[in-house]
Structure 1
Amino acid sequence: MAPTSPTVPAIAVIGLGPRSIAVLERLVSHLTHLSDPPERLYLHLIDDAQHGGGRIWNIDQTHALVMNTFADGMTLFAEPGATVADPVTEGPTIYEWIRLVRGDETGIAPAKVDYFRAHPLLPQFRPVTEDFSAEELDAVLPHSYLPRALYGFYIQWVYSSVLDRLPDWVTPVAHAARAVGIRESGECDEIALSDATTLAATATVFVSGWQHQGFTEQEKWINAKLRKDPRLHWVRADNPIDQDVAGIAAGERVLVRGLGMGFFDVLALSTVERGGRFVEDAAAPGGLRYEASGDEPRFFASSRRGYPFLPQAADGQVPPPAAMPRLRKVIKALSARGGSHCIDYDTEVWPAVVRDAYATYVETLARVRPDALRRPVAEALAEIDAADINPRARFGGVEVLDRIVEESTDEPFSLVPYIEQIPRQFDSVAELTAWAAGRIAHDIAESERGQDSPVRAALWSVGSARKPTQVLGAEARYTAESRRNLFHTAVALGQFACSGPPLFRSRQLLALIEAGVVTLVGGSPVLDVDEGTWVLRSEYSASESVRGTTLVDAWVHKPDIRRLPSDPLMARLVSTGRVRPFSETRADGETLLTGSPELDPQTRLAVGVDGETDPRLHLVGIPAHSQYPDTTLAPPLPGTDSWFIQEADKAAVSALDRALRAVVAQPA
């Protein structure tokens, strides 16, 4: 622990996952360029999980859990030209870092090479080469999907390099504990840790990540059922690495809610991690056959949509940025409009998203199959631009395509099937599953076509629209009505279409369906209990009942401070009024509270119940999802001027400024 000093400023960083490491990187870049530094500054680094990775990116986890982001699409460093305060310290992306670990410097900017050479891993951290062989690292390509543990090693190296750069007058103090309480004391925060330590900070940066939440009403009902019947089991929504999937018995019937990445992780942990094998088989749907170990459970899966997230494109290259010319034009015009609650996403933004998607479909179709168009591309695009897009009529579907595209086209495109749930026309769960299997096989084929798939290209355009439209609507610039209507629909569609699993996961799912390990139940599931079993029904499969003794919720709750969080520190901040919910206003003047804490846009300082900006407390990242874009999307993409890095810089600059304004005695 730091020695006693009556005049030493101190910054506390709570949580040490990737977003915190980005904050620290920006903080150290500014520390090293202070013109008048103090004699000493303490930097308290607080997390009971792995420092430089946290829980989600723990380097000790199985390599079977992978990311859904390309290897060449991740960095934790600010880049020249980024919207951050100077200076910028250039460091390698994860793909460049892997190449540098292998000794390959070809084509990597000299500044990044120099940074890598200057900062070998500190002795207290385990090198990546102990866990990943040279062959595994050599096999990484720009479009590879990396094991999460490998990303954890990158985060840990960045963290190590940041600590290595600290000026001599900065003393880092690592705390392998959880922050459980906080109170104001004069010009500092007194932070209580789970190991009974109390420390003082003149500035605090709380980067909480995916916090555990208080129970929803349905979860309270589930808990009541669990107390009444010990035969029932429930795996609550959480990061899969923290869910007790291993406790599910072989052959047990398991009901799953959620068909996104958490679902695919649960399958991996319950099949290949239990000795099952996926074997290449050209005769099998999707090209894979599953050979069971006998230790697998049986899964009956559902979700609100009722259909699994689409696989990522897999044509051996990183998809290029979507053009989105209509959306960019609209954003440029609307960005000049002042005030909040002033943009109607439904009527002013969504039509441009739709037109760009259908135009991309036509342009790609013209490139790969020009005979499918009934008229020249320019005329087809003009018809799309002239079409009346009613946002409330079938989600803005453009029927004009019926006049542009030949009927012989294999897949007449419409956004509607991707937005709406699966057809309500199945007489049984088996019939629905058979339909879904055929559709998944189609999705796999489209994924393999990649940029040559008009459908994938159109959906990529919709997915790419998420960030610029979120940035446009930050700080409640969209009307509350439109934010809660089509904006949420569009973001969910983009996630469904472009944030799904790697292709091999969809191929594995299809093999598991064929092997009888997975059955799909349908959308909008209804949960009940009957005679010691959970019961799940969906009207999409004629409300046929499926039963199981274990219920798995395969998702992660978005943080919501209105449900008093189970995280003791955030709960304390809410109960003492140091944070308040960010609010939106309807056209009729009604205030709508969100689940996010309100933050000051320029500093990321919390706003209290009195409406005043907190003097020390900064909140960064996921909890602010209602106020800011990109908070739930990680990691930041190179070349995008990511808000992830921008907010890290804002918090770092403000924390340093506030830390140096006040001083506090540090405990011995």
Structure 2
Amino acid sequence: MPTISPSIALIGLGPRGVSTLERLVAHFNVVENPPQEFHLHLIDDAQHGGGRIWDTTQTKALCMNTFAHGMTLFSEPGATVDAPVVEGPTIYEWVRLHLGHEEEVTRAKRDYVTQHPLNDALWERFSREELEQMRPESYPLRALYGYYLVWFYESVLADIPEWVTVHSHKARATSIEEADNYDIITLDNGETVEASATIAVTGWQNQGLAAQEKWIKETLDTHPGLNWIRANNPIEQDVSSIKDNENVLSRGLGMGFFDILILTTQERGGQFVEDPDAAGGLRYIATGKEPTYYASSRRGYPFMPQSDDGGLPPAAEIPRLKKVVAELSDRKGRRSIDYDVEVWPAVLRDAYHAYVKTLARVEPQALKADLDTIVQAIDDAEVDASVVFNGVSAMDEVIEKYTTKRFSLLRWMHLLPANFDNTQELTAYVMQRLEEDLRDAEQGQDSPVRAALWSLGFSRKPSQVLGAEGRYTVESRHHMFDKAIALAQLACSGPPIFRTRQLMALVEAGVVKFIGGYPLLDTDRTTGEWTMSSPYSGGVRYRGTTLFDAWVHKPDIRKMPVDSFMKDLVEKKRVVAFSDIAEDGTELPTASVAQHPQSRRVLDAEGHEDPRLHMVGIPAHAQYPDTTISPPLPGTDSWFIQEADKAATSAFNITLGVNKMNQAV
């Protein structure tokens, strides 16, 4: 049987890829009897370390929605990993070390940086004044995070032992063939790579055209004067194609939307200035050439600003959910947990408990009974998951009975409760709600509303981990679980406060107008323009010459991928979809690649592990919902690092097996 030297191919070198590399190197450095020859192939056509999204050359106008001291790629003591833990700085600590503030960083992390010196690359784009302004709770620029990633990547490379030969390929993997006991990977530069184990960390990828996107493409063919900016990473979208004074129909009100606003206003010469009389405290000084955005999304409401806690947000208490997770974590098998009945009541009660506990602290006169009595009433209240569609929650009745306040999470599940006659009326309503969101966010930990929403947001990860591997019934997952996760993302994964203020200033300047939820896209038969309407704004058809999709497609194995590497895997049936199981036993294929939970090797149609191929991260988002969360938070034993470690451990063990086989031959 033909053999090759032990070798690993790592495809994809963004954050997850370099984290996987770090876990591999941690294994390499404890090998007692290394092979005489070992090859490590690192493959990515984007910047090695930063990847496409965090490329260091991107504009400094774009920021992250994660805290500076809440991001690390390093494992930590007590982490659930097989390879040895390697401690290093968060991005905030890394910046402080650049500035010479060593006393603020622990000895173990300082020692790592001593062994892996900082370089001067950061100073090429950032001044000392800029970096000194960063606080632990600041939102770093994406380009800055890119520099951190590149330093991390180069530091990991420096730790690779001499017996490992590294091959860096600035190219894209296009196909993969099985050859006896190894893979042959073809790159877009014509090279081939042989690997006894392969780890694919492919991240976000464009999908094939969906049905409506095919119609959009056909419309462009017959109306060449129209423009479509397809869903993608914002720095890869053709923002320059948006013309001055153009009407833009926009779908999506998350980070991509906030990004495009900044790139076509402030980045084109517009200015935001402080103005205490403005709704959000900012006023926009226009250039007179701004596009006008008619903005919509399925929800029809922008992601809410993150809370200003005056520091890193504390962990939510969520005592009931913790108890439920402890009780149900050992329950195995598909459809073994009903989220609606067994998990949602704990999540909901924890959120209302957080509300009244904060209210008791900041406004004790608002309580009509002692806190213990109210908490007991919350625990005694019946939780009916169907109430999310109509009616009044029993929890809401507890708040109304025992306090002088009115509060209901249903208000955030139905953000646009009324239909309006036009965009002017709807926009006025959204602005009123945004002012409320802003006030609550500014109050931080002193806002009972934010306390409830933060409890819900903090419940997201343990809820997702509990239901991984299809343990939730598909019916409950598509009912309350999806709604709870969506609300948690709306409330706790939104933009920094200053982005919401900027949005409000752009609304007041007439740059942004809201259409509402579930937009209907069409074309005007007379003018040939795009049109968009929503029942939330009276069904009025608003016209534009550019259609902008402000989101990123999640990989979906059920559709034929555009990416040639993933397409090759699907066509060869080397990967198959992970399936949910319906109540009647029917298998329901999901968008995810099926994987083994421990090794992260892909599975075939019979459920057998692939002998070599691993996948890490986003392609498994349905089987492992927490894999879309990036970057990892310190102190959380994140799945981000756990899954990187699992794949690295499996690939490492495979290559050791190849080495033993070669020695036997």
Same fold? TM cut 0.5: yes
Query: Partner of 1:365: helix, strand, or coil?
Result: helix
Alignment of 1:547-558 (within 5 A): 547-558=543-554
The TM-score with structure 1 as length reference comes to: 0.96
Query: Partner of 1:116: helix, strand, or coil?
Result: helix
Structure 1 residues 378 and 241: CA distance shift in structure 2, 3 A:
same
Output the CA distance in 2 between the equivalents of 1:487 and 1:329: 18
For the pair 1:56 / 2:50, whether they are aligned, the reply is no
2:441 to 415, 437, 447: 447
**Deviation of residue 121 (structure 1)?**
4.9
Query: Partner of 1:180: helix, strand, or coil?
Result: strand
For the pair 1:41 / 2:32, whether they are aligned, the reply is no
Alignment of 1:130-279 (within 5 A): 130-279=124-273
Q: Which residue of 1 aligns with 2:295?
A: 301
Output the CA distance in 2 between the equivalents of 1:103 and 1:430: 52
Q: Which residue of 2 aligns with 1:538?
A: 534
Output the CA distance in 2 between the equivalents of 1:350 and 1:224: 44
For the pair 1:16 / 2:2, whether they are aligned, the reply is no
1:564 to 554, 560, 564: 560
Query: Partner of 1:381: helix, strand, or coil?
Result: helix
Asked whether the equivalents of residues 342 and 478 of structure 1 are also in contact (C-alpha less than 8 Å), the reply is yes
Q: Which residue of 2 aligns with 1:581?
A: 577
Query: Partner of 1:285: helix, strand, or coil?
Result: coil
Asked whether the equivalents of residues 420 and 538 of structure 2 are also in contact (C-alpha less than 8 Å), the reply is yes
Structure 1 residues 61 and 595: CA distance shift in structure 2, 3 A:
same
Output the CA distance in 2 between the equivalents of 1:6 and 1:484: 47
1:101 to 98, 116, 127: 98
Output the CA distance in 2 between the equivalents of 1:386 and 1:622: 40
Q: Structure 1 regions of 5+ residues with no counterpart?
A: none
* One-letter identity of the residue aligned with 1:12: A
**Deviation of residue 504 (structure 1)?**
0.3
Query: Partner of 1:392: helix, strand, or coil?
Result: helix
**Deviation of residue 402 (structure 1)?**
4.2
List structure 1 runs of 4+ shifted beyond 4 angstroms. Answer: none
Query: Partner of 1:393: helix, strand, or coil?
Result: helix
**Deviation of residue 199 (structure 1)?**
1.1
Query: Partner of 2:385: helix, strand, or coil?
Result: coil
Query: Partner of 2:379: helix, strand, or coil?
Result: helix
Output the CA distance in 2 between the equivalents of 1:405 and 1:54: 53
For the pair 1:391 / 2:385, whether they are aligned, the reply is yes
1:609 to 605, 609, 617: 605
Output the CA distance in 2 between the equivalents of 1:403 and 1:244: 50
Asked whether the equivalents of residues 380 and 404 of structure 1 are also in contact (C-alpha less than 8 Å), the reply is no
* One-letter identity of the residue aligned with 2:443: R
Alignment of 1:587-598 (within 5 A): 587-598=583-594
Query: Partner of 2:626: helix, strand, or coil?
Result: coil
Asked whether the equivalents of residues 629 and 643 of structure 1 are also in contact (C-alpha less than 8 Å), the reply is no
Output the CA distance in 2 between the equivalents of 1:220 and 1:81: 49
Query: Partner of 1:8: helix, strand, or coil?
Result: coil
Asked whether the equivalents of residues 233 and 551 of structure 2 are also in contact (C-alpha less than 8 Å), the reply is yes
Query: Partner of 2:349: helix, strand, or coil?
Result: helix
Output the CA distance in 1 between the equivalents of 2:299 and 2:553: 17
1:415 to 409, 412, 415: 409
Q: Which residue of 1 aligns with 2:654?
A: 658
Query: Partner of 1:539: helix, strand, or coil?
Result: coil
Q: Structure 2 regions of 5+ residues with no counterpart?
A: none
**Deviation of residue 619 (structure 1)?**
0.3
Output the CA distance in 2 between the equivalents of 1:79 and 1:37: 26
Q: Which residue of 2 aligns with 1:629?
A: 625
Output the CA distance in 2 between the equivalents of 1:241 and 1:31: 36
2:335 to 333, 341, 348: 341
Output the CA distance in 1 between the equivalents of 2:396 and 2:122: 53
* One-letter identity of the residue aligned with 1:621: G
Asked whether the equivalents of residues 300 and 518 of structure 2 are also in contact (C-alpha less than 8 Å), the reply is yes
Asked whether the equivalents of residues 303 and 491 of structure 2 are also in contact (C-alpha less than 8 Å), the reply is yes
For the pair 1:81 / 2:103, whether they are aligned, the reply is no
Query: Partner of 2:66: helix, strand, or coil?
Result: strand
For the pair 1:65 / 2:77, whether they are aligned, the reply is no
Query: Partner of 1:87: helix, strand, or coil?
Result: coil
**Deviation of residue 41 (structure 1)?**
1.2
Output the CA distance in 2 between the equivalents of 1:73 and 1:630: 17
Asked whether the equivalents of residues 311 and 501 of structure 1 are also in contact (C-alpha less than 8 Å), the reply is yes
Asked whether the equivalents of residues 375 and 404 of structure 1 are also in contact (C-alpha less than 8 Å), the reply is no
Output the CA distance in 2 between the equivalents of 1:656 and 1:226: 49
Q: Which residue of 2 aligns with 1:116?
A: 113
Output the CA distance in 2 between the equivalents of 1:468 and 1:611: 27
Asked whether the equivalents of residues 83 and 649 of structure 2 are also in contact (C-alpha less than 8 Å), the reply is no
Which string of whole-angstrom CA distances, capped at 9 and with x for unpartnered residues, describes residues 388-425 of structure 1?
11011136832323444544x4xx22111211240223
Q: Which residue of 2 aligns with 1:32?
A: 29
Output the CA distance in 2 between the equivalents of 1:475 and 1:158: 31
**Deviation of residue 610 (structure 1)?**
3.6
**Deviation of residue 6 (structure 1)?**
7.3
Asked whether the equivalents of residues 355 and 449 of structure 2 are also in contact (C-alpha less than 8 Å), the reply is yes
Greater shift in the superposed pair: 505-514 or 540-549 = 540-549
* One-letter identity of the residue aligned with 1:31: F
Structure 1 residues 565 and 327: CA distance shift in structure 2, 3 A:
same
Output the CA distance in 2 between the equivalents of 1:213 and 1:374: 55
Asked whether the equivalents of residues 460 and 485 of structure 2 are also in contact (C-alpha less than 8 Å), the reply is yes
Output the CA distance in 1 between the equivalents of 2:514 and 2:398: 32
Output the CA distance in 2 between the equivalents of 1:439 and 1:479: 35
Structure 1 residues 6 and 564: CA distance shift in structure 2, 3 A:
closer
For the pair 1:92 / 2:89, whether they are aligned, the reply is yes
Query: Partner of 1:473: helix, strand, or coil?
Result: helix
Structure 1 residues 405 and 261: CA distance shift in structure 2, 3 A:
farther
Give the % identical residues.
56
* One-letter identity of the residue aligned with 1:100: L
**Deviation of residue 586 (structure 1)?**
1.2
Alignment of 1:354-393 (within 5 A): 354-393=348-387
Output the CA distance in 2 between the equivalents of 1:146 and 1:559: 27
How many residue pairs get aligned? The number is: 655
Output the CA distance in 2 between the equivalents of 1:437 and 1:606: 47
For the pair 1:618 / 2:605, whether they are aligned, the reply is no
Asked whether the equivalents of residues 578 and 591 of structure 2 are also in contact (C-alpha less than 8 Å), the reply is yes
Query: Partner of 2:565: helix, strand, or coil?
Result: helix
Asked whether the equivalents of residues 388 and 413 of structure 2 are also in contact (C-alpha less than 8 Å), the reply is no
Output the CA distance in 2 between the equivalents of 1:561 and 1:9: 30
Query: Partner of 1:520: helix, strand, or coil?
Result: strand
* One-letter identity of the residue aligned with 2:232: D
Greater shift in the superposed pair: 202-211 or 329-338 = 329-338
CA RMSD of aligned residues (A): 1.5
Greater shift in the superposed pair: 85-94 or 471-480 = 85-94
Output the CA distance in 1 between the equivalents of 2:41 and 2:118: 21
* One-letter identity of the residue aligned with 2:499: R
Asked whether the equivalents of residues 6 and 38 of structure 2 are also in contact (C-alpha less than 8 Å), the reply is yes
* One-letter identity of the residue aligned with 2:211: E
